[in-house]
C-alpha cells in the first residue's frame, strides 16, 4: 500500500543535534505534502517547545505533543485529542518524586513549570547548547510545583524527571511502571517522562489516522528513542535513525541514515519515486 501518513519524532530524528531541519530533509517533506501525504510531527515536547521551523513545514495540518497527550489541528491549535493526569494524581506522583537528585518538571496546557533550583541546575547543564533556547522559551519558574497545583488545580499533560544520578533511574522506572493509570517512558539516558495511560504517540497516531480513513499499512514513522516504541507499533513501516537506541533499532522494519545525514529525506524520496 502507498504511504498516506508520515509521523516524525523531533529531537534526534527530524531535528539535527543543533535543533534544525536539514534543507534536503525539508525539501523531501515538502514534496511529500505536495503528493498528498500527511506529515505529522509527534514529539515529547510541549506545544510551546515545538520550534517555529517545524510549525512552518509546508502543508502541516496536525501536531502530536507531550508523548501523545495532545493532538492538535494546525494552524489554529484546535485540540483533537487530550489525555492528561488528574491534578490529585499528579500531586501524588510529585510526592513520590520528592527525593534528592531528581529534577522534576510538570507540563500544563503546552507549557513547562519547574522550581528555581531545578531551573538553575538545568540552565547550567544546557548553557551554550541548542537546548538552552528551548528551555528559555518553554518553561516558567514557580516557587513549588505542588503549591502551584494546589493553588490552581489543573490536569497535567506530562511529568518529566531528570536523574542527576543515572543509577536511580531503573528502580524508579520499574516501580512507576507497575501503576496502570500512567504511562512511563525513557526519552533520554537520564530522563523519564510520565503521562496518562492513554498518552502514547502510537495511540495518538492510530486515532488520527483512523479518523481520516488511513489504515496501519499506510502509516510510516521515524524515531530514535525508546519513547518511540508506541509510535513504531502503530505503523506499517517503522524506520529507526542510525543514531537510534539499540532497542528501537531492534523494533524497526528498517534503519536509515542519522538525523545529521538526511535519514528521513533518503527514505521519503525513495517512497515518492515508486
Are the CB atoms for 111 and 160 separated by under 8 Å?
Answer: no
pLDDT of residue 136: 87
Task: State phi, psi for 42 to the nearest 5 degrees.
Answer: -135, 105
Q: How far apart are CA 111 and CA 48, in angstroms?
A: 6
CATH code that applies to domain 87-196: 3.30.1240.10
How is residue 197 written as a grid cell? 495511560
pLDDT of residue 27: 97
Task: State phi, psi for 120 to the nearest 5 degrees.
Answer: -65, -45
Mean pLDDT of 152-168: 91
Which H or E run includes 173? helix 169-177
Judge whether residue 186 has pLDDT over 90: no
- Note the pLDDT tens digit of each residue in 12-34: 999 999 999 999 999 999 999 99
Relative to beta strand 5-8, strand 38-41 is parallel
Q: How far apart are CA 165 and CA 168, in angstroms?
A: 6
Relative to beta strand 158-163, strand 102-108 is antiparallel
Task: Give the percent of the chain with pLDDT over 90.
Answer: 80
- Note the pLDDT tens digit of each residue in 70-124: 999 988 889 999 999 999 999 999 998 888 889 999 999 999 999 999 999 999 9
Q: How far apart are CA 148 and CA 219, in angstroms?
A: 40
How is residue 93 written as a grid cell? 506522583
pLDDT of residue 195: 95
Q: What is the pTM of this model?
A: 0.92
Pick the CATH number of 5-83+199-272 from 3.40.50.300, 3.40.50.1000, 3.40.228.10, 3.40.1170.10: 3.40.50.1000
Task: Give the percent of the chain with pLDDT over 70.
Answer: 100
Mean pLDDT of 59-66: 96
- Of 177, 229, 187, the closest CA to residue 205 belongs to 229
- pLDDT grade for 209, boundaries at 50, 70 and 90: very high
- Note the pLDDT tens digit of each residue in 240-267: 999 999 999 999 999 999 999 999 999 9
- Of 201, 205, 235, 194, the closest CA to residue 217 belongs to 235
Strands (E), the chain: 5-8, 38-41, 62-65, 70-73, 78-82, 102-108, 111-114, 139-141, 158-163, 182-188, 191-196, 219-223, 237-240, 254-255
pLDDT of residue 134: 87
DSSP letter for 213, please.
T
List where CATH 3.30.1240.10 sits in the chain.
Answer: 87-196
Mean pLDDT of 166-194: 90
pLDDT of residue 135: 87
List where CATH 3.40.50.1000 sits in the chain.
Answer: 5-83+199-272
Q: Average per-residue pLDDT in the chain?
A: 94
Q: How far apart are CA 101 and CA 103, in angstroms?
A: 7
Amino acid at each position: 500500500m502507498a504511504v498516506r501518513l508520515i509521523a516524525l519524532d523531533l529531537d534526534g530524528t527530524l531535528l539535527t543535534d543543533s535543533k534544525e531541519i536539514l534543507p534536503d530533509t525539508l525539501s523531501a517533506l515538502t514534496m511529500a505534502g505536495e503528493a498528498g501525504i500527511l506529515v505529522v510531527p509527534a514529539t515529547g515536547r510541549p506545544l510551546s517547545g515545538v520550534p517555529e521551523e517545524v510549525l512552518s513545514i509546508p502543508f502541516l495540518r496536525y501536531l502530536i505533543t507531550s508523548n501523545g497527550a495532545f493532538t492538535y489541528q494546525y494552524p489554529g491549535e484546535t485540540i483533537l485529542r487530550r489525555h492528561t493526569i488528574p491534578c490529585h494524581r499528579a500531586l501524588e506522583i510529585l510526592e513520590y518524586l520528592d527525593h534528592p537528585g531528581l529534577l522534576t518538571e510538570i507540563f500544563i496546557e503546552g507549557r513547562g513549570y519547574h522550581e528555581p533550583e531545578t531551573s538553575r541546575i538545568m540552565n547550567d547543564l544546557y548553557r551554550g547548547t541548542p537546548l538552552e533556547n528551548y528551555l528559555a522559551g518553554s518553561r516558567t519558574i514557580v516557587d513549588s510545583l505542588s503549591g502551584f497545583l494546589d493553588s490552581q488545580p489543573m490536569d497535567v499533560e506530562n511529568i518529566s524527571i531528570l536523574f542527576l544520578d543515572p543509577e536511580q533511574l531503573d528502580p524508579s522506572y520499574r516501580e512507576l511502571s507497575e501503576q496502570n493509570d500512567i504511562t512511563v517512558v525513557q526519552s533520554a539516558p537520564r530522563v523519564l517522562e510520565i503521562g496518562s495511560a492513554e498518552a502514547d504517540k502510537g495511540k495518538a497516531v492510530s486515532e488520527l489516522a483512523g479518523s481520516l480513513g488511513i489504515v496501519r499499512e499506510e502509516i510510516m514513522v521515524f524515531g530514535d528513542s525508546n519513547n518511540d516504541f508506541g509510535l513504531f507499533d502503530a505503523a506499517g513501516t517503522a524506520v529507526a535513525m542510525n543514531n537510534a537506541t539499540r532497542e528501537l533499532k531492534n523494533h524497526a522494519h528498517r534503519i536509515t541514515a542519522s538525523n545529521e545525514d538526511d535519514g528521513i529525506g533518503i527514505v521519503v524520496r525513495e517512497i515518492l519515486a515508486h
